[in-house]
Structure 1
Amino acid sequence: MASRRLLLQAAAAGALSLALPGCTRVDLSAEANGGSLLDRLRQKGEVRVGFANEAPYSFINSEAELTGEAAEVAKVVFRRLGVPNLIPIPSEFGSLIAGLKVGLFDVIAAGMSILPKRCKQVLFTNPDFIAPAAFLVPKGNPKGIKTFAEVAQQNLRMGVLIGATEKDYAIANGVPENMITAYQNQPSGLEAVSTGRVDAFSLTAISLRDVLGKNPGAPLEVTTPFVPEVDGKPQFTSGGFAFLPDQTNAVAAFNKELADLKQSGELLRILRPFGFTEAEMTDMTAQQLCAVPEA
C-alpha cells in the first residue's frame, strides 16, 4: 500500500514538473462570464481532484480509495451538481496551487486553509470547517508550550508541514525562521518530535489528533487547541475548496450545495467519522477569510 501511494505521488510530481515548463500547451486562458468549468465537468461526468494525501482531509485509504473530510464533501457536492466521478490526483501540499494553475486538476480538495495570500492566486469556496491550531509535544509537555509565544520565548525548535500556515503564524509571533523545519507529511513531523529533532510539531488540532491516534504507542500528546493571533488579530484556520479565479459559476454552484448540506445537518454527518464535531462547523465565508489581515 505504501509503495502504491509513493508511486501515485511520484507520478503527480513528475506530471507537475513536466507541466510547468510546458504550460503554454494547456489552454489556461481566463474565461469570461464566470467560466464554463461546471458545464465541461458535467459533459465528461468527472472532476479531477488535487489532494495531498493528508488525513483526515483527503487521503488514500487501505482499500486504495480516496476518502477524508474534503474528499467526501467533494463527492457529495459534485454528485449533486451532476458530476458523478472524482479522479484523484495526488500532490505535495505545497505544490497544489501550482498544479491547479497548470491544469493538472480542476479543483483542490485538501482541507486547504483560506488565507489572503492564497486568495490572490485561487478562488475559494466558503469553508466547510474551522479548526484551531495545536502542538504535538512529548508527553507531559515539558516545555509548557501553549502558543507560538512560548516557542519564541524559549527559542525552541519547531516543525511544520510544508506549505502550511503554521510557519507564517510562528514567524509573526517571533519564532526565528531558522528554528522552523518543514516536513513533507504528518508522520514525519511525529517522528521528528519522537526523536527529539524538534521540540514541537504544529498543525491543526484535528490533524494532530488523527496522526497520534494512528500511533498509539508514541510517547506524545496534543496540546490544548488555540486560535493563533497576529498583531492581536485572530487567524482562523478554515478549510475550503480552491478553483481557478475565473470559475465563479462553479464556485457559486458549489457554495449553494454546501450551504444546503450545512443547513440540513448532513455536512456534520459527513465529517464526523473523520474527527470533526459541532465545534468545527462554521458560517464564515471565503470573502470574510480572504479579508483577514495577513500574518
Structure 2
Amino acid sequence: MALTDSREAGSIRRRSLLVGGAALGASGFALGGTGCARVPSGDALARLRSQRTVRLGIAGEVPYGYIDEQGAFTGEAPELAKVVFKRLGIDRVQPVATGFGSLIPGLNAQQFDVVSAGMYIKKERCAQVLFSDPEYQMLDSFIVRKGNPLGLRSYDDAVRKRARLATGTGYAQIGYAVAAGYPEKDIVILQDQVAGLNAVESGRVDVFAGTALTAREVVKKSSRAEATEAFAAVVDGKEQIDGGGFAFRLTDGDLRDAFNAEIHKMKRSGELFRILRRFGFTESEMTTLTAEELCR
C-alpha cells in the first residue's frame, strides 16, 4: 500500500469501515475476543494455535484490506492471510479496523497480532516491526482528467507545470513528490483514492498520485478521468519500486518465518497470483524482492 510514515498520525478510515464495523459479527468469521484468554507462554505461533484465532489489523484501503459494502472482510492481504493461517493451524481470523497511522502502534500494543494491510516495506518501519517478504511490488500512477490535458506523467512534470497535486493521507507519494521538488505545503491531502478521483473530476486538483493499482481500479467507472501509465518515482537519482507485506512484532520472528515459508510455496505454485489477481493485480506486480532488500 502506498503509505509513508511522514503523515501516519492520521486515522481516517474508508467509508466502508464505517459500514462494516457494525457488521463484523455477521461477516462469517469468528470474532470472539481473545485478549484475556489464558494461553501458554512460548512462541507466537504456538500461542495463536492455542487461541485458534489471529487478529488482523486492517486500515480499510481497497484493494489491500477492507470491509466491503456487504460487511464482508476482504482484500488481497486478508484473503491471503485466511489461507496462510489456516495452513499454520489457526482456523479463525478476526479483523481489527483502525487508521493506517495506528497499525504499527496497535500491533506493538498487542491490539492485534499481525498487520494485514499490504503495508509498504520501508527502512524506517523495519526498525519497528518484522516484515514478511512482499506479496507484490508496485509502481505509481496519476489520476488525471480525460486526455491528460497537462501531460502529467511523472512528479517532475507536476513540478514543472505547477500542477495542483493531491494524494492520500499517509501515502508514500507525499515523499516522492517532495523529493521531486514539489512544495509539501502545497500538496492537497485527501482521504483516499475515491476522494482523489472526485477532486480530479470536479477540477479542484489537476492530479491525484497513488499506486498504479489503485489508480487504474478507481477510474474504471469514470467517464471524466483516466489513469496514466505506471511509472517509478525517482528519489536521489534512484527509481523506487515498492513492495507490500505483512508486519509482525519484533519478538515474533517464529511466526513471521512460518508465514514466509507458506508465502514462498504459494509464489512457486502460482497460488499467490491467483488470489491477488481477483483484486486487480497483474503478473508484472508479482515479485521476487525480499524484505531484507527493501529494509535496506
TM range, smaller chain = 0.7 to 0.9
State whether residues 130 and 250 of structure 2, in contact with CA within 8 Å, keep that contact through their aligned partners in structure 1: yes
**CA, structure 1 residues 8+67, in 2 after alignment: closer, same or farther (shift >3 Å)?**
closer
**CA, structure 1 residues 192+86, in 2 after alignment: closer, same or farther (shift >3 Å)?**
same
Partner residue, 1:55: 62
Question: Structure 1 stretches of 5 or more lacking a match?
Answer: 11-25
> How far apart in 2 are the matches of 1:92 and 1:154?
33
Partner residue, 2:99: 92
> How far apart in 1 are the matches of 2:282 and 2:16?
32
> How far apart in 1 are the matches of 2:160 and 2:285?
30
Partner residue, 2:109: 102
Is structure 2 residue 137 aligned with structure 1 residue 125?
no
State whether residues 20 and 68 of structure 2, in contact with CA within 8 Å, keep that contact through their aligned partners in structure 1: no
> How far apart in 1 are the matches of 2:94 and 2:147?
43
Cα deviation for residue 4 of structure 1 reads 7.1
State whether residues 108 and 242 of structure 1, in contact with CA within 8 Å, keep that contact through their aligned partners in structure 2: yes
Partner residue, 2:261: 256
> How far apart in 1 are the matches of 2:205 and 2:123?
29
> How far apart in 2 are the matches of 1:64 and 1:3?
11
Q: Secondary structure at the match of 1:112?
A: strand
Partner residue, 2:169: 162
**CA, structure 1 residues 281+4, in 2 after alignment: closer, same or farther (shift >3 Å)?**
closer
Cα deviation for residue 185 of structure 1 reads 2.0
> How far apart in 1 are the matches of 2:164 and 2:16?
33
State whether residues 113 and 238 of structure 1, in contact with CA within 8 Å, keep that contact through their aligned partners in structure 2: yes
> How far apart in 1 are the matches of 2:102 and 2:193?
16
Is structure 2 residue 204 aligned with structure 1 residue 197?
yes
> How much identity, in percent, do the aligned residues show?
45
Taking structure 1 as the reference length, what is the TM-score of the superposition?
0.85
> How far apart in 2 are the matches of 1:257 and 1:71?
15
State whether residues 126 and 285 of structure 1, in contact with CA within 8 Å, keep that contact through their aligned partners in structure 2: yes
Runs of at least 4 residues of structure 1 off by over 6 A?
A: none
Q: Secondary structure at the match of 1:190?
A: helix
**CA, structure 1 residues 101+218, in 2 after alignment: closer, same or farther (shift >3 Å)?**
farther
Counterpart among 230, 243, 252 of residue 247 in structure 1: 252
Structure 1, residues 23-78: CA drift from partner, whole Å, max 9, x if none? xxx99xxxx9xx72221111111111111111111121233111111111111111
State whether residues 94 and 162 of structure 1, in contact with CA within 8 Å, keep that contact through their aligned partners in structure 2: no
Equivalent position amino acid for 2:82 in 1: K
Counterpart among 231, 234, 242 of residue 237 in structure 1: 242
Equivalent position amino acid for 1:132 in 2: L
Q: Secondary structure at the match of 2:79?
A: helix
**CA, structure 1 residues 232+196, in 2 after alignment: closer, same or farther (shift >3 Å)?**
same
Q: Secondary structure at the match of 1:100?
A: helix
Q: Secondary structure at the match of 2:219?
A: helix
Counterpart among 275, 278, 285 of residue 280 in structure 1: 285
The aligned length equals: 269
State whether residues 135 and 201 of structure 1, in contact with CA within 8 Å, keep that contact through their aligned partners in structure 2: yes
Partner residue, 1:144: 151
Q: Secondary structure at the match of 1:221?
A: strand
Structure 1, residues 51-106: CA drift from partner, whole Å, max 9, x if none? 11111111212331111111111111111111111111111223222222222211
Counterpart among 181, 189, 197 of residue 174 in structure 1: 181
Equivalent position amino acid for 1:145 in 2: L
Q: Secondary structure at the match of 1:53?
A: coil
Question: Structure 2 stretches of 5 or more lacking a match?
Answer: 1-13, 23-34
Equivalent position amino acid for 1:5 in 2: L
Partner residue, 2:18: 6
Partner residue, 1:13: none
Is structure 2 residue 256 aligned with structure 1 residue 265?
no
State whether residues 133 and 289 of structure 2, in contact with CA within 8 Å, keep that contact through their aligned partners in structure 1: yes
Taking structure 2 as the reference length, what is the TM-score of the superposition?
0.85
**CA, structure 1 residues 186+9, in 2 after alignment: closer, same or farther (shift >3 Å)?**
farther
